[in-house]
Amino acid sequence: MKPFIDSGGLHLRSQDLPPAYADNGAFYLIAPEDLRKLRSFYSDDTVPLMIDAPEESIDIDTEWDWRMAEAILAMSGAGQK
């Protein structure tokens, strides 16, 4: 097993670790000509869209995911008029 934290960090509590971010694939914005040229969504000019609220980053691939999303949204009060 190889640590993904350069400075070790395996001895630290998760609360004491530096923030880590992952691409969730929720949103990409790229000019078609750039996508054709780069053959990738990523370049040196890529700017992340930071999503802080968990209910804004729900990935739905299965019926179970859908049910979990509904429960999370119901608890958060989102989607209420």
DSSP designation for 19: P
Q: Note the pLDDT of residue 27.
A: 83
Residue 5, pLDDT above cutoff 80: no
Q: Whole-model pTM above 0.75?
A: no
Q: Note the pLDDT of residue 17.
A: 81
Rounded to an integer, what distance in angstroms lies between the CA atom of residue 49 and that of residue 11?
A: 31
DSSP designation for 15: G
Helices (H), the chain: 32-38, 63-76
Rounded to an integer, what distance in angstroms lies between the CA atom of residue 78 and that of residue 56?
A: 10
